[in-house]
Structure 1
Amino acid sequence: MDAKTSGIKRILKIVKPYVAMVLLQFSFAVMYVTLLATLKKGMNQSVMFVYRNVIAATVIAPFALWFEREGRPKVTPLIFIKVMGLAILQPVLDQNFYFMGAQRTSAGFASALENINPAITFVICLLLRVEKLNIRQRHGLVKVIGALLAVSGAILMILYKGPFVTFFWTKGRENHGSSTADASSSGLRWLKGTLMVLVSCFSWSSFLILQTNTLKSYPAKLSLTVMISFIGAIINAVIAVVVNRGSYQAWILGWDMRIFAVVYSGVICTGVMYYVLAMVMKEKGPVFASAFNPLTMVMTAILSSIVLAERTALGTIIGAVIVITGLYSILWGKSKEYKAMAPEKERDVEADELPVVSPVTNSEAASTLRPQPPAPPLSTVDIQ
């Protein structure tokens, strides 16, 4: 019985990270489709993000107060400016432009195009000299090829639609909204939506880079998330007041899908997501977590076809496959780069090690000098 129990526990430990990441990507797909459905029914976008970020801040704040009650750094003027920048980049620009673009294209297209984020982040890091690149080494060349593939796939999705792929459960159903209308009548609308999604991707990549820099001087991640969500809610509230000209009707949610959408996105896709992602990252690392991102695109396409009766264009499918190939090329290159960095870290540890007076065995010395895994260059904590 003990052997059987230990075997089951071992299997559950192996399977747990995979199940957690699949459920996490599914939660994002549900959030995208649910929020898009509420927007198409007339809910004000800025108001929705006010409630969402307030709920996220409220959920995370008790954990931040408890787990980071000791050792929380002081918020200096420079750190506050960085937090303001983070709040503008993600809760305001990223969230608003993504859903404005999804309304003008489709949930499936926006989710597919969002896979270009790693390539954009990689290029920005190169320009800022945050990322090192050596194309003479195989992993460096593969990263460049991956970035080019991701950009090429995105361009293909933008320029070529092709015939729509209709799932059997959408036959005979009328599409809700005009987001996937024929290109001849909505080409300009589609182009605007595409540009908005690209602005969202650029904002998200910039957010990751700035967040990485901010965490060096303010490592309290929970507290940082609370501040970003709270400031983002304030900025979105100002936008909502201006757009709605002081009308209070837009702020009334009602007991329908609208309240479910904001509560679900705030609690599950920010609070629970933060814990699950941190757990997986600690055990498996950033490369493992990033590898599941394309699942969101597939799940979003399926759910949007069921809930919103959206059709997926052939060009989107082909472009998404190319983008995902580029994504995994970048991830492969990064994983090989981490392994290449490990011997250098080991030499640094050996150089810094003080002479040992008492004799030790080879196994003890190896365990003492074993290098820690290199920290990821970008934080993958997603408060989206």
Structure 2
Amino acid sequence: MGAWLRNAKPYLLLLAVQFGSAVMFIFAMDAINKGMSHYVFIVYRNAIAAVTLAPFAFFLERKVRPKMTPRVFSEIMALAFFELEHMKIKEVACQAKLIGTAITFGGTLLMALYKGPVVSVVRSSINHATQPQNVDDPTGNRWIIGTCFLLIGCAGFSSFYILQAITLRKYPAEMSLATWVCFIGALQSFVVAFFAERHHSHAWSLGWDTRLFAPAYAGIVTSGVQYYIQGKVIKTMGPVIVTAFNPLRMIIVTALACIILSEQLFLGSIIGAIVVVSGLYLVVWGKSKEYKARNEMPPSPTKENSLQHQQQLPVTAPRNEISDNKTQLVFHAEEQCYNCGPN
């Protein structure tokens, strides 16, 4: 049981991260519907995360935190792409990861682009029969634009995971890195929000409802804890497995929106969810096989031979012989001086 829990710990943490992010979307949707600006929401979210993580990062990682160099600082603010996954196409584990990733991506597009008939799962107090059901109306077509923005966001998050993996190699302090990311994100989003809401000063006001709870929850849980957990998992398993779990967020959001917000559930969402879970299973299976094979891999014979060869080389023998000869010469000279001295 202990070994199983230890092996399943990264996957359980990623599942918890996706569930926490899905809950954040529900709170954020309610806060925005109450008039909160989404620009201001991002500013408060990053600022709260930075303030919350900073004390823990300062005290808990002060002995392991390396120096913040200009190069590492620039990598936090920029994007970089390097080879982080070793792809061996002939291996079954690698083939499973590639096929699973393609299936997961297809399921995500299916959930976003295909609706189909409405499936009545939870009885809602809202009468949807009085609402327009035509998906082709101008208002309904906005979900296509939203899908395009979601795809751009997925590409941005994938780049962020790759950059996070690269930065953790040179700056192996997950909590401190998460603090820096949230702090810089707060500064960048503040500049955008300042110009976007410069004529609406009331957009920065908060209330004792989800307009306060949503950014606080998003900052502490989604930005703070999530970045830290993702950094821990990325250091051990790489960024691919973290990215593969992201489509689960859409499934959880759909389920919560159907239950809590009484939104309609379409057949396309159910089919897409099944496809996403199937693809994710292939990715997790391939990654677990690859991780297990890497841990069970014996040391390389070339490395063992080189180590044995280095141990067998007479590196110190000549020095010992020279020092012994010098010692014998000194003793011999002293003995001659003693014999030649006055009797």
Asked if structure 2 preserves the Cα contact closer than 8 Å seen for 1:241 and 1:247, the reply is no
Q: Structure 2 CA distance, aligned partners of 1:269 and 1:354?
A: 50
Q: Note closer, same or farther for the CA distance 1:156–1:232 as it changes in structure 2 (3 Å cut).
A: same
Q: Give yes or no for the alignment of 1:156 onto 2:110.
A: yes
Once the two structures are TM-superposed, the CA of residue 196 in structure 1 deviates from its matched residue by: 0.5
Q: Give yes or no for the alignment of 1:33 onto 2:20.
A: no
AA partner of residue 269 (structure 1) = T
Map Cα deviations across residues 361-381 of structure 1 (whole Å, 9 max, x no partner): xxxxxxxxxxxxxxxxxxxxx
- Aligned to 2:221, which of 249, 252, 268? 268
Counterpart of 1:184? 136
- Aligned to 1:170, which of 110, 124, 142? 124
* Sequence identity (%): 40
Map Cα deviations across residues 227-254 of structure 1 (whole Å, 9 max, x no partner): 1101101111111111112532111102
Q: Note closer, same or farther for the CA distance 1:33–1:350 as it changes in structure 2 (3 Å cut).
A: farther
Q: Structure 1 CA distance, aligned partners of 2:267 and 2:27?
A: 24
AA partner of residue 191 (structure 2) = V
Q: Note closer, same or farther for the CA distance 1:232–1:273 as it changes in structure 2 (3 Å cut).
A: closer
Counterpart of 2:87? 133
Asked if structure 2 preserves the Cα contact closer than 8 Å seen for 1:164 and 1:313, the reply is yes
**What is the correspondence of 1:96-245 to structure 2 with a 5 Å cutoff?**
129-170=83-124, 172-174=126-128, 182-185=134-137, 186=139, 188-245=141-198
Counterpart of 2:283? 330
Asked if structure 1 preserves the Cα contact closer than 8 Å seen for 2:108 and 2:276, the reply is yes
AA partner of residue 327 (structure 1) = L
Q: Note closer, same or farther for the CA distance 1:55–1:34 as it changes in structure 2 (3 Å cut).
A: same
Once the two structures are TM-superposed, the CA of residue 313 in structure 1 deviates from its matched residue by: 1.7
Asked if structure 2 preserves the Cα contact closer than 8 Å seen for 1:287 and 1:331, the reply is no
Q: Structure 2 CA distance, aligned partners of 1:80 and 1:216?
A: 13
Map Cα deviations across residues 317-354 of structure 1 (whole Å, 9 max, x no partner): 21221122112212211221222333445337756767
Q: Give yes or no for the alignment of 1:254 onto 2:247.
A: no
**What is the correspondence of 1:45-84 to structure 2 with a 5 Å cutoff?**
45-84=38-77
Once the two structures are TM-superposed, the CA of residue 153 in structure 1 deviates from its matched residue by: 2.1
Asked if structure 1 preserves the Cα contact closer than 8 Å seen for 2:32 and 2:38, the reply is yes
Once the two structures are TM-superposed, the CA of residue 194 in structure 1 deviates from its matched residue by: 0.3
In structure 2, stretches of 5+ residues that fail to align are 312-343
Q: Note closer, same or farther for the CA distance 1:63–1:345 as it changes in structure 2 (3 Å cut).
A: farther
In structure 1, stretches of 5+ residues that fail to align are 1-6, 90-124, 358-384
Q: Structure 2 CA distance, aligned partners of 1:210 and 1:287?
A: 12
Asked if structure 2 preserves the Cα contact closer than 8 Å seen for 1:287 and 1:335, the reply is no
Asked if structure 2 preserves the Cα contact closer than 8 Å seen for 1:173 and 1:309, the reply is no
Q: Structure 2 CA distance, aligned partners of 1:352 and 1:60?
A: 46
Q: Note closer, same or farther for the CA distance 1:197–1:289 as it changes in structure 2 (3 Å cut).
A: closer
Q: Structure 2 CA distance, aligned partners of 1:72 and 1:279?
A: 15
Q: Structure 2 CA distance, aligned partners of 1:352 and 1:164?
A: 67
Q: Structure 2 CA distance, aligned partners of 1:181 and 1:68?
A: 54
Asked if structure 1 preserves the Cα contact closer than 8 Å seen for 2:178 and 2:224, the reply is no
Counterpart of 1:376? none
Q: Structure 2 CA distance, aligned partners of 1:262 and 1:254?
A: 11
Map Cα deviations across residues 210-235 of structure 1 (whole Å, 9 max, x no partner): 11111111112211111110110111
Q: Structure 2 CA distance, aligned partners of 1:241 and 1:273?
A: 27
Q: Structure 1 CA distance, aligned partners of 2:23 and 2:157?
A: 20
Asked if structure 2 preserves the Cα contact closer than 8 Å seen for 1:157 and 1:320, the reply is yes
AA partner of residue 309 (structure 1) = S
SS at match of 1:168: coil
Q: Structure 2 CA distance, aligned partners of 1:200 and 1:130?
A: 21
Tell me the number of residue pairs that the alignment of Structure 1 and Structure 2 aligns: 306
Map Cα deviations across residues 27-79 of structure 1 (whole Å, 9 max, x no partner): 33221101111112221011111111111111110011101212422222222
Q: Note closer, same or farther for the CA distance 1:64–1:338 as it changes in structure 2 (3 Å cut).
A: same
Q: Structure 1 CA distance, aligned partners of 2:236 and 2:162?
A: 23
Once the two structures are TM-superposed, the CA of residue 136 in structure 1 deviates from its matched residue by: 1.9
Counterpart of 2:254? 301
Q: Structure 1 CA distance, aligned partners of 2:78 and 2:133?
A: 36
Once the two structures are TM-superposed, the CA of residue 151 in structure 1 deviates from its matched residue by: 2.9
**Higher alpha-carbon Rg:** 2
Q: Note closer, same or farther for the CA distance 1:291–1:201 as it changes in structure 2 (3 Å cut).
A: closer
Map Cα deviations across residues 68-100 of structure 1 (whole Å, 9 max, x no partner): 2124222222222111126xx9xxxxxxxxxxx
Q: Note closer, same or farther for the CA distance 1:152–1:26 as it changes in structure 2 (3 Å cut).
A: closer
